[in-house]
Chains A and B, each alone.
Chain A
Amino acid sequence: MSKEVFSQISPSEFFYRNRDLAGFSNPTRSLYTSVREFVENALDACDHRKILPDIHLSIKAVNPEQADPKHYILTVKDNGPGIDPEHIPLAFGTVLYGSKFGLKQARGMFGLGATMAILYGQITTNKPVTVKSCSDGKSLDEFVMLLDIQKNKPVIQKHTTKEGSKTGLTVSIVLEGDYSKAGSKIRDYVYQTSLITPYASITFEDPAGEKFHYARIVKDMPRPPTVIKPHPHGIDVETIRRMITDTHYQIPAIDNKMIDKVKKELSLKKNLSPKEILERAQKRWSDISKPVRTVISVMSFLNIGFEGLQKIRIDDIDVANKTITYWDFGESQSHAVELNPESPYYKQLASTVQGDTLLTFLTKRFQRVGPTTAEKFCEFAKFKPDKRIGSMTNEELVKLADALQKFEEFLSPDPSCLAPLGEEPLSKGIMKFFNPEFAAVWQRNASAYSGFPFVVEMGIAYGGDIPPNGLKVYRFANRIPLLYDEGSDVVLKIVNETEWTRYKIKGDPPLVIVSHICSTRIPYKTVGKENVADRPEIERELKNALQYLARKLAVHMSRQGAADMAKKRANLYSKYVPLIAQFATELAGKKKEPNYNQLIRMGSEIEEQV
């Protein structure tokens, strides 16, 4: 047999192997990605605490004389909640330290991308990251630190604490970048981010010292998203399995640590008999935690105290078949004890997940599933409603997951976890950015694809300050501008499939479309997260939104057209009728010209016959 050599790879090696996926493939892309990660983290932090964001971004060359690619100092400062000093080293000094989980819309997975940027900076320039944070409005902590790549641990070089006055976070890294190539994308990014975040004030100072300032346009924050339970359509077998073994509901492992916890919650100083323990527990039942209640329930059925508990190993609690199986170390043999379903302790065990019936599992653990729907589903899936979820075999779980996908009577996903911008802020942003002659916005109702809720909001703007260079589409997903891979995006597909002449739009119109898709999971086509795949549900929503707006535009265009036509008529008749009169007067041999004013007026007023 040959020996296989296993070697652990460090996060830095992992990073190197995966940097293309993370957006750090070259100095140009890396600079752009780093800007994105820090700006998006800053906006997310402010959104989370309902603080109107005030973001300052600056990029400075370390040595401006040098040619690109060269070292740049990238600094992003926000007015968010800051981070507790104790968490800073971990948050910024280790790879894969995250703090955001749960199902809700966010720009990015917090921490991950930012740490990638820090790591990229350190690898390319060997310079530390500087983090300044004030989380209480009183003290400002400044950390200068490197990442110990081998140990995945922060190495703090300097830590100072000063007096601070405002909360906020400033992160500054040195990295190799190519601003001459990345500049236009970064400027686009800042511009478009300001458009979709009209409640933020964003300032960007480029390496030449030029400042791009986007003032706050609206003062109201959009409603923040809430964390919600999953929708039945959005899960697979693996997710169900994880839900079942979720620590919070699991029957706890009974070890010394657990026994100490039980003793502490019951305030037990000395050893009591099993009966006395149960009596004490009854008195304090409402104060003790769920895992402890479960342990006490087990003790009640086995009729043992703590000492006994230490001598056995619980092998299986089969709530469905009403038996507990345990291994007795002393006797070196297995025992099975029957559970009395009349006992209140049985109920306790039954309320853990293994004990949940399918019906309860469905109504408690999923969003928008009531008892009626759950029963209908059980019938559809050919499961008994009181089937214990814990007793399901692998095949049954696969069948369950399958049925959950196929059942069509679940309500559509709860969109409260989504945070669209809203029609008014979007409209104000569009008016301010483009100063158009006509604009309309529409936020569609929430819809879902594969159990993931999503909302499409769209705006259209025509004329005014928009240059007549043809149609321009601004794409956003979860308030992030999508700048790359435009051609293969579903929004572009819908726009290009539209017959614009039907909406009285011809040639190279001064036309802007702003499209924003919000979802707990945007179906990106590629890991680069720059283009959205054409899911039929999303395509349909986009199409409806665009058609609605295009019709509004068409109404405007025909009104405009009618007004233009009336003006043109008036001009034409004022020009030609006097000429005709002049010619006719001479032809007819008259001296005085006819009174033609009435005709000019009539000519201007005639409705064009269609």
Chain B
Amino acid sequence: MRLKNKSNAKTAETRKKRLLSMLEQQGLSIYENLDKGKFPQFVIPSRSVSNIVYDKKIRQYILGSASAVRSSRNMSQLRSYTQLAWLAFFVNRLVREGKSSTLRDIYYSSQAFSIDFEDQPESDNIIVDLEAVLTSPREEFHIFPEERSSVFGDLTIEYTVPGYEGKRMNLSDHPDGYLIGPSLSSAELVDTSAELVIAIEKGGLFTRFVEEKVHKKFKAIIVDTAGQAPRSTRNLLRRLNNEMGLPVVILADGDVYGEHIAMVIKSGSANAAHLRELTVPDAKWLGVWATDIEKYKLPTIPMTESDIKRIYDLQKDPRYQEGNWKKQLEVFLKLKRKAELEAFSKYGLTNITDKYLPAKLEESKSF
């Protein structure tokens, strides 16, 4: 039984305190400016392409030193300034009262405060602005995306959401898995018997893995990323790795998108360059590699033009400049064909769990 590594962890409570303190500081600053007849402003780290750089040390994209000022003095920024001030105010309420919200809910809630977002992309953007100002992911603001992925396995958690404080729950009790939602994201991780986390791209295979008792055979916690992993899922993967000391492996389709799903879990996305704690730098991409397609004689389909274009795009990314990441891209480009995880069913429904997974886990020890 693995116990939580307390020294490494920021508990939910301390993170909440830190956030509320930053919000109060912002509020005080605005308040004093208004009182003195000065125009208040926010300093927002610039998220423009030129300010996004890859940090090799921490192995993720980060923002450079450039920042932009959003001032209430500038008439053209006054509206978005007010939107940002409102969001800080609203997040403060959410966090203090322990309520959760979604991106869409934020968009609709604004109307009650005479804050007029033109559409949801505009409000989503303001949320990212606040993330950058406070360098905290929106999940800490209790704001979640609509999309949900799931987790299954022997992991005991303890809720922190109001009404459930202190209540514990084991995530292997329900075979459909558990949604990685606000309550689970804010819960404390208590203990686990697992020795491994397997992140898998597809819901269908997640169910298959549960049926095949992969969690028992491999002592694993299984996470369904539902395609590109949402931030709350990436954050959970990181905590499982960080707080519980579990290695994370990733299984995705045998194409360029699968490879990149693994990369984003490992080292983040450019979109979230302003955030930390969403990456699992030691995560391992198990497959399906381009070389696996030939090695396991998987049935394939031809790549589309956009697949090929995506390969060329990724070849410019600094993270794909060496090692296996680089090699697999080259092989994909050479094959111009791709294979899905389901391709293993050609050799039997349990082929992937009986043969492929053990082989790749064994292989992963050497990289």
Knowing A583-B86, A587-B24, A594-B34, say if A606 contacts B79 (CB, 8 Å). Answer: no
Q: Are B81 and A579 in contact, with the CB atoms below 8 A? A: no
Q: Write out the residue numbers on chain B whose beta carbons fall within 8 Å of the beta carbon of A598.
A: 37
Q: Are B27 and A584 in contact, with the CB atoms below 8 A? A: yes
B76-117 interface code vs A (CB 8 A; 1 in, 0 out): 001101100110110011000000000000000000011100
Knowing A588-B24, A588-B31, say if A599 contacts B89 (CB, 8 Å). Answer: no
Knowing A579-B86, A580-B30, A599-B37, say if A587 contacts B75 (CB, 8 Å). Answer: no
Q: Write out the residue numbers on chain B whose beta carbons fall within 8 Å of the beta carbon of A581.
A: 31, 34
Q: Is B23 an interface residue (CB 8 A)?
A: yes
Q: Are B35 and A595 in contact, with the CB atoms below 8 A? A: yes
Q: Is A577 an interface residue (CB 8 A)?
A: yes
How far is the CB of A235 from the nearest CB of chain B, in Å? 65
Q: Are B31 and A585 in contact, with the CB atoms below 8 A? A: yes
Q: Are B30 and A572 in contact, with the CB atoms below 8 A? A: no
Q: Write out the residue numbers on chain B whose beta carbons fall within 8 Å of the beta carbon of A608.
A: 75
Q: Within B3-21, which residues are at the interface with A (CB < 8 Å)? A: none
Knowing A576-B79, A579-B114, A588-B24, say if A602 contacts B37 (CB, 8 Å). Answer: yes
Q: Are A599 and B114 in contact, with the CB atoms below 8 A? A: no
Q: Are B34 and A586 in contact, with the CB atoms below 8 A? A: no
Q: Are A599 and B82 in contact, with the CB atoms below 8 A? A: no
Q: Within A557-605, which residues are at the interface with B (CB < 8 Å)? A: 568-569, 572-573, 575-577, 579-590, 594-596, 598-599, 602-603
Q: Within B35-86, which residues are at the interface with A (CB < 8 Å)? A: 35, 37-40, 72-73, 75, 78-79, 81-82, 85-86
How far is the CB of A572 from the nearest CB of chain B, in Å? 6
Q: How far is the CA of A584 from the CA of B85 in the complex (A)?
A: 7
Q: Are A587 and B26 in contact, with the CB atoms below 8 A? A: yes
Knowing A583-B85, A587-B92, A602-B37, say if A594 contacts B31 (CB, 8 Å). Answer: yes
How far is the CB of A601 from the nearest CB of chain B, in Å? 9
Q: Is B349 an interface residue (CB 8 A)?
A: no
Q: How far is the CA of A48 from the CA of B24 in the complex (A)?
A: 86
Residue among B24, B34, B75 making CB contact with A580, cutoff 8 Å: B34
Q: Are B82 and A579 in contact, with the CB atoms below 8 A? A: yes
Shortest Cβ distance from B86 into A: residue: A583
Q: How far is the CA of A580 from the CA of B40 in the complex (A)?
A: 9
Q: Write out the residue numbers on chain B whose beta carbons fall within 8 Å of the beta carbon of A583.
A: 27, 30, 82, 85-86, 88-89
Q: Are B88 and A580 in contact, with the CB atoms below 8 A? A: no
How far is the CB of B73 from the nearest CB of chain A, in Å? 7
Q: Are A579 and B79 in contact, with the CB atoms below 8 A? A: no
Q: How far is the CA of A581 from the CA of B79 in the complex (A)?
A: 14
Shortest Cβ distance from A598 into B: residue: B37
Q: Is B331 an interface residue (CB 8 A)?
A: no
How far is the CB of B219 from the nearest CB of chain A, in Å? 47
Q: How far is the CA of A584 from the CA of B34 in the complex (A)?
A: 9
Q: Are A589 and B39 in contact, with the CB atoms below 8 A? A: no
Residue among A568, A586, A590 making CB contact with B89, cutoff 8 Å: A586
Interface size class of A (residues with CB under 8 A): 20 to 34
Residue among B27, B32, B85, B88 making CB contact with A589, cutoff 8 Å: B27
How far is the CB of A571 from the nearest CB of chain B, in Å? 10
Q: Are A584 and B37 in contact, with the CB atoms below 8 A? A: no
Q: How many pairs of residues, A versus B, come closer than 8 Å at their CB atoms?
A: 92
Q: Write out the residue numbers on chain A whose beta carbons fall within 8 Å of the beta carbon of B31.
A: 581, 584-585, 587-588, 590, 594
Q: How far is the CA of A598 from the CA of B35 in the complex (A)?
A: 9
Q: Is B361 an interface residue (CB 8 A)?
A: no
Q: Is B169 an interface residue (CB 8 A)?
A: no
Residue with the greatest number of chain A CB neighbours at <10 A, chosen from B85, B88, B113: B85
Q: Write out the residue numbers on chain A whose beta carbons fall within 8 Å of the beta carbon of B26.
A: 587
Q: Write out the residue numbers on chain B whose beta carbons fall within 8 Å of the beta carbon of A595.
A: 34-35
Shortest Cβ distance from A589 into B: residue: B24
Q: Are A580 and B81 in contact, with the CB atoms below 8 A? A: yes
Residue among A580, A585, A587, A606 making CB contact with B82, cutoff 8 Å: A580
How far is the CB of B40 from the nearest CB of chain A, in Å? 7
Q: Is B28 an interface residue (CB 8 A)?
A: yes
Shortest Cβ distance from A569 into B: residue: B75
Q: How far is the CA of A568 from the CA of B92 in the complex (A)?
A: 31
Q: Write out the residue numbers on chain B whose beta carbons fall within 8 Å of the beta carbon of A588.
A: 24, 27-28, 30-31
How far is the CB of B90 from the nearest CB of chain A, in Å? 8
Shortest Cβ distance from A572 into B: residue: B78
How far is the CB of B274 from the nearest CB of chain A, in Å? 21
Knowing A599-B34, A599-B39, say if A586 contacts B27 (CB, 8 Å). Answer: yes
How far is the CB of A596 from the nearest CB of chain B, in Å? 5
How far is the CB of A581 from the nearest CB of chain B, in Å? 5
Q: How far is the CA of A576 from the CA of B78 in the complex (A)?
A: 7
Residue with the greatest number of chain A CB neighbours at <10 A, chosen from B23, B27, B93, B115: B27
B309-324 interface code vs A (CB 8 A; 1 in, 0 out): 0000000000000000
Q: Are B85 and A606 in contact, with the CB atoms below 8 A? A: no
How far is the CB of A174 from the nearest CB of chain B, in Å? 67
Residue with the greatest number of chain A CB neighbours at <10 A, chosen from B32, B72, B75, B113: B75
Q: How far is the CA of A181 from the CA of B79 in the complex (A)?
A: 55
Residue among A572, A575, A577 making CB contact with B34, cutoff 8 Å: A577
Shortest Cβ distance from B88 into A: residue: A587
Knowing A569-B75, A588-B24, A594-B35, say if A579 contacts B115 (CB, 8 Å). Answer: yes
Q: How far is the CA of A595 from the CA of B93 in the complex (A)?
A: 23
Residue with the greatest number of chain B CB neighbours at <10 A, chosen from A580, A585, A589: A580
Shortest Cβ distance from B23 into A: residue: A587
Q: Write out the residue numbers on chain A whose beta carbons fall within 8 Å of the beta carbon of B30.
A: 580, 583-584, 587-588
Q: Are A596 and B75 in contact, with the CB atoms below 8 A? A: no
Residue among B23, B88, B113 making CB contact with A579, cutoff 8 Å: B113
Q: Write out the residue numbers on chain B whose beta carbons fall within 8 Å of the beta carbon of A589.
A: 24, 27
Q: Write out the residue numbers on chain A whose beta carbons fall within 8 Å of the beta carbon of B114.
A: 575, 579
Q: Write out the residue numbers on chain A whose beta carbons fall within 8 Å of the beta carbon of B79.
A: 572, 576
Shortest Cβ distance from B74 into A: residue: A609
Q: Write out the residue numbers on chain A whose beta carbons fall within 8 Å of the beta carbon of B34.
A: 577, 580-581, 584, 594-596, 599
Shortest Cβ distance from A581 into B: residue: B34
Q: How far is the CA of A139 from the CA of B115 in the complex (A)?
A: 82
Q: Are B28 and A573 in contact, with the CB atoms below 8 A? A: no
Shortest Cβ distance from A606 into B: residue: B73
How far is the CB of B59 from the nearest CB of chain A, in Å? 35
Shortest Cβ distance from B34 into A: residue: A594
How far is the CB of A315 from the nearest CB of chain B, in Å? 94
Shortest Cβ distance from B30 into A: residue: A584
How far is the CB of B87 from the nearest CB of chain A, in Å? 9
Q: Write out the residue numbers on chain B whose beta carbons fall within 8 Å of the beta carbon of A580.
A: 30, 34, 40, 72, 81-82, 85
How far is the CB of B163 from the nearest CB of chain A, in Å? 24
Shortest Cβ distance from A602 into B: residue: B37
Q: Write out the residue numbers on chain A whose beta carbons fall within 8 Å of the beta carbon of B38.
A: 599
How far is the CB of A566 from the nearest CB of chain B, in Å? 10
Q: How far is the CA of A573 from the CA of B24 in the complex (A)?
A: 24
Shortest Cβ distance from B87 into A: residue: A583
Q: Write out the residue numbers on chain A whose beta carbons fall within 8 Å of the beta carbon of B27.
A: 583-589
Q: How far is the CA of A589 from the CA of B34 in the complex (A)?
A: 15
Q: Write out the residue numbers on chain A whose beta carbons fall within 8 Å of the beta carbon of B81.
A: 576, 580
Q: Write out the residue numbers on chain B whose beta carbons fall within 8 Å of the beta carbon of A569.
A: 75
Q: Write out the residue numbers on chain A whose beta carbons fall within 8 Å of the beta carbon of B39.
A: 599, 602-603
How far is the CB of A582 from the nearest CB of chain B, in Å? 8
How far is the CB of A496 from the nearest CB of chain B, in Å? 34
Q: Are B78 and A573 in contact, with the CB atoms below 8 A? A: yes
New A-B contacts (6) at CB < 8 Å, excluding given A587-B28, A596-B35, A603-B75: A576-B72, A583-B88, A584-B89, A586-B93, A594-B34, A603-B39
23 contacts between A and B (CB under 8 A): A572-B75, A575-B114, A576-B78, A577-B34, A579-B113, A580-B30, A580-B81, A581-B31, A583-B27, A584-B27, A584-B31, A584-B40, A584-B85, A584-B89, A585-B27, A586-B93, A587-B24, A587-B26, A587-B27, A587-B30, A587-B88, A587-B92, A602-B39
User: What is the interface of chain B, defined by CB distance below 8 A to chain A?
Assistant: 23-24, 26-28, 30-32, 34-35, 37-40, 72-73, 75, 78-79, 81-82, 85-86, 88-89, 92-93, 113-115
Nearest 9 Cβ contacts at the A-B interface: A587-B27, A588-B27, A583-B89, A584-B30, A594-B35, A598-B37, A594-B34, A588-B31, A588-B28
